[in-house]
């Protein structure tokens, strides 16, 4: 064999190894996004299971606050639908409504001393608040995984492999500006 043939074969082998490395890294990033979404999904399901218990506990004491309870039930349904369809954009909007509803409910609970003293309510409030913090942490991990994936599939030379093999970008899980803004607590107590 000629030297030029050997050099060409070595270059071809190196190119193939490089493309395989790019492909494997893209697969790893895609699966990290899926894993991050699964972590959020688990927490959303846990919270989804806790909300009916909270609403039932509150119904016993808050007979005049039917709108607040119905808003949570409706938002819970919208979150579940978005979650089931893996619609990240719809989930962000639905989460905003649910979080606002929970904030209103917890603020209204201040007006009901018997409810605030109820062990089941205290347990559920603590559990749901902890789940909210965990969801926020997992959302951050999901968004970071999504960002790494999206940047990588747009960088050269990875973009060549990504486009030719159908790798797609993922949506960030974002909440609306109202969810990120400070809540005016005085309005909730009027």
Whether 25 maps to a domain, the answer reads no
Per-residue model confidence as pLDDT tens digits over 35-62: 999 999 999 999 999 988 888 888 877 7
Mean pLDDT of all residues belonging to the chain: 86
Per-residue model confidence as pLDDT tens digits over 117-146: 888 888 999 999 999 999 999 999 999 999
> What SS3 state is found at 173?
coil
Instruction: Give the other-Cβ count within 10 Å of 32's Cβ.
Output: 17
CATH number, domain of 97, equals 1.20.1440.20
Whether 123 maps to a domain, the answer reads yes
Whether 145 maps to a domain, the answer reads yes
Whether 16 maps to a domain, the answer reads no
Phi-psi region of 124 (alpha: psi -120 to 50; beta: other; left: phi over 0): alpha
Give the C-alpha separation, 2 to 22, whole Å. 30
Three-point CA angle 95, 62, 130, nearest 5°: 40
pLDDT of 189 above 80:
no
Residue 96 φ then ψ, to 5°: -60, -45
Whether 31 maps to a domain, the answer reads no
The pLDDT of residue 8 is: 93
Whether 33 maps to a domain, the answer reads no
Tell me which residue range forms the domain holding 61: 39-188
pLDDT of 183 above 60:
no
Whether 168 maps to a domain, the answer reads yes
Domain count, the chain: 1
- What is the model's pTM? 0.74
Token code pair at residue 49: 């299971």
The pLDDT of residue 19 is: 94
Whether 173 maps to a domain, the answer reads yes
> What SS3 state is found at 22?
helix
Helices (H) and strands (E) in the chain, counts: 8, 0
Contact status, residue 111 vs residue 119, Cβ threshold 8 Å: no
């Amino acid at each position: 064999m000629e030297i030029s043939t050997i050099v060409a074969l070595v270059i071809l082998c190196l190119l193939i190894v490089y493309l395989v490395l790019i492909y494997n890294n893209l697969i790893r990033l895609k699966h990290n996004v899926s894993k991050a979404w699964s972590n959020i999904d688990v927490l959303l399901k846990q919270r989804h299971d806790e909300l009916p218990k909270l609403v039932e506990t509150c119904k016993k004491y808050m007979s005049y606050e039917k709108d607040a309870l119905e808003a949570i039930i409706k938002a819970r349904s919208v979150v579940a639908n978005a979650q089931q369809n893996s619609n990240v954009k719809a989930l962000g909007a639905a989460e905003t409504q649910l979080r606002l509803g929970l904030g209103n409910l917890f603020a209204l609970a201040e007006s009901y001393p018997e409810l605030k003293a109820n062990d089941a309510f205290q347990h559920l409030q603590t559990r749901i608040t902890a789940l909210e913090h965990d969801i926020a942490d997992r959302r951050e991990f999901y968004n970071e995984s999504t960002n790494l994936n999206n940047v990588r599939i747009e960088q050269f030379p990875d973009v060549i492999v990504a486009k030719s093999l159908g790798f797609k970008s993922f949506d960030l899980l974002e909440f609306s500006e109202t969810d990120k803004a400070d809540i005016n607590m005085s309005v909730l107590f009027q």
